[in-house]
Amino acid sequence: MDDIDRRIVARLVENARVSNRELARDIGIADSTCSARIAALTASGIISGFHAEIDLAKVGRSVQAHVSLKIRPQALPAAAEFCDYVADLPDVIAVYMVTGPSDLVAHVAVPSTEELREFVLHLAQRPEIADIRSSIIYLSRRSPFPRG
């Protein structure tokens, strides 16, 4: 991946709906070159899809939280399968298997703190769970692509 590819990816992360013509003009390359590079980035797996960013509050999911899960030692061999189970729950945006005091961290979006409580209580009943803690997210900022 060279500097032109990085600039293409960064621009697509900003706005995946930018036209090929506008993108090529912004980068300073020919339309056909831009199109070929996007195709190559996609074929290589660097670009794995194009996504819409949703305002969760506007779709009734105004409470976001990180739910940290400690898995019982006996259940650790099946941690990947449990991670898949958590990822498939309807309120879950993402799940991360991590190091440190927790084994999994789930990013969830729910309509209310009461719904968050119900989500946590549901997971706490699972036999795999040794400990569960939640942290409500008040504000978040993210950078979808490293700038350096």
Cα 8 from Cα 6, distance rounded (Å): 5
Residues 6+ apart with CB under 8 A from 42: 48
Residue 148: predicted pLDDT = 61
Domain for residue 26, yes or no? yes
Residue 108 phi, psi dihedral angles, 5° rounding = -120, 155
Domain for residue 51, yes or no? no
Query: What proportion of the chain, given as a percentage, has pLDDT over 90?
Result: 85
Q: Looking at the structure, tell me whether residues 36 and 63 fall in a common domain.
A: no
Q: How many CB atoms lie within 10 A of CB 63?
A: 19
Residues 6+ apart with CB under 8 A from 112: 62, 63
CATH number of the domain where residue 106 is located? 3.30.70.920
Domain that holds residue 33: 3-43
Q: Looking at the structure, tell me whether residues 32 and 62 fall in a common domain.
A: no
Band of residue 133 on the pLDDT scale cut at 50, 70, 90: very high
State the total domains in the chain: 2
Residue pair 57/64 in contact (Cβ under 8 Å)? The answer is no
Query: What proportion of the chain, given as a percentage, has pLDDT over 70?
Result: 97
